[in-house]
Amino acid sequence: MTVGRRASVHTPADDAAARYATLMRGPRIAALIGAGTALATLAGNLLVLEQMSGLLFAVTVPAALVCAASIRNIVNFSPRAVARLQQLTASLGGRFWLWKTGTGGHSGTPFAYGAEHERFGVVAGTLHGIPFEMGHLSSQVSTQYRAPGGRRHGYVVIRLPERLPHMIVSFGHLSRVLGVRVAPDQWHRSQRVDVGGGRDFRLFVADGGEAAARAFFTAEIVALFQRVGRSFDIEIKNRSLSLLAGRSPAAGSERRWAEQWGLLEEVTGSLAGSEVWKAVGRQSRRLRDEPLRADIARAVAVVFGVAAIAVVVLSLVVLTASGVIG
């Protein structure tokens, strides 16, 4: 019989805290590796080599971009943002989770694609009688490729009174890197539906859902979603409305956080008091559960086009720096 050392007991809260700490360390590690690699290769170019090295240049630029993207994740998904969501629990009478595995049953694009989905800093409650969940999603591109920082998204998922077709209002937030939009909408252009929001209000509706979309998107809803679009892309599927962005809803200054929370209160209040649900309910009974169709050919063409341009630009820079091109 052994005496003296007490066996440690791990609780679910301890496991959640450990997983949360691991998620927070990922971008910091990536930023340090990226910064160290970029500085080392840059020093090699400036101090050791007499001519610009194409290999080192090709390493320096990607490493600097990885560092910048990781720092952006550190700032936009900071413990401060998580703490702000935790503080909502008392006023809402809701629940807070520091870390949760999986997608939680949500069906928005960041939840539907990728691998190893984890949520952190999650608050769930009710506003104006409508259930919602707000938090942060971490995922990987695939199980074969794992980036230290992963992919991060901020989200709000709102439960709707009636079922709606699969719809996306794209403002480009999910296709930006370091604040710059790098890809067009991936959805087939034949699914675009005009509900009067103007050129920037890019609404895509799954086949067969056009009538329900027009019943839902009144002038008031369109105007409200245009304001939402300053911070989020919008995706609707069945009875879930998802607000999606590459930044935490609670990130930034106190003023921004107050504006984001006020916007969420306005959205839930407008949806709860809207008169569209009777008309939407009649349309929803005839809906088929059809997903949006992606324009695969266009996406492939864009990816290869961007890659070709990047190769040409980098080659010209290296050749010019090496003196081959005068």
pLDDT tens by residue, 243-294: 999 999 999 999 999 999 999 999 999 999 999 999 898 888 778 778 888 7
Q: Is residue 114 part of a domain?
A: yes
In the block, tokens 């961007």 appear at 306
Shared domain for 181 and 261, answered yes or no, is yes
Gap between the Cα atoms of 126 and 74, Å rounded:
29
Shared domain for 69 and 100, answered yes or no, is no
Provide the pLDDT for residue 282. 86
pTM: 0.84
Alpha helices in the chain (DSSP H): 12-43, 54-76, 79-92, 109-112, 210-216, 219-228, 254-273, 277-284, 296-321
Q: Is residue 20 part of a domain?
A: yes
Provide the pLDDT for residue 8. 47
Shared domain for 18 and 52, answered yes or no, is yes
Q: Is residue 68 part of a domain?
A: yes
Shared domain for 100 and 118, answered yes or no, is yes
Q: Is residue 319 part of a domain?
A: no
Shared domain for 39 and 183, answered yes or no, is no
Shared domain for 155 and 179, answered yes or no, is yes
In the block, tokens 């003196």 appear at 323
Q: Which residues of 278-317 are buried (b: 16+ CB within 10 A; e: fewer)?
A: ebbeebbeebeeeebeebeeeeeeeeeeeeeeeeeeeeee
Long-range Cβ contacts of 216-223 (<8 Å, 24+ apart): 216/164, 216/276, 216/280, 218/274, 218/276, 220/270, 220/274, 221/270, 221/274, 221/276, 222/195, 222/196, 222/197
Amino acid in position 268: T
Sign of CA dihedral 54, 56, 57, 58: positive
Q: Is residue 141 part of a domain?
A: yes
Provide the pLDDT for residue 4. 42
**Contact status, residue 111 vs residue 103, Cβ threshold 8 Å:** yes
Distances (CA, A) of 269 to 129, 241, 314: 9, 14, 51
Q: Is residue 299 part of a domain?
A: no
Domain containing residue 28: 12-75
Provide the pLDDT for residue 144. 82
Which residues of the chain, if any, have pLDDT below 70?
A: 1-11, 48-57, 148, 176-185, 296-307, 310, 313-326
Torsion of CA 179, 75, 134, 11, to 10 degrees: 140
Gap between the Cα atoms of 240 and 264, Å rounded:
15
Shared domain for 61 and 190, answered yes or no, is no
**Contact status, residue 167 vs residue 204, Cβ threshold 8 Å:** yes
Shared domain for 87 and 26, answered yes or no, is no
**Contact status, residue 155 vs residue 118, Cβ threshold 8 Å:** no
Provide the pLDDT for residue 227. 96
Number of structural domains (the chain) is: 2
Provide the pLDDT for residue 51. 58
Shared domain for 207 and 92, answered yes or no, is yes
**Contact status, residue 34 vs residue 70, Cβ threshold 8 Å:** yes
Shared domain for 133 and 257, answered yes or no, is yes
Shared domain for 161 and 271, answered yes or no, is yes
Provide the pLDDT for residue 189. 85
Q: Tokens for 113?
A: 């694609």
Provide the pLDDT for residue 318. 61
Distances (CA, A) of 162 to 111, 144, 157: 21, 39, 15
Provide the pLDDT for residue 185. 61
Choose among 273, 293, 296, 297: nearest CA to 165.
293
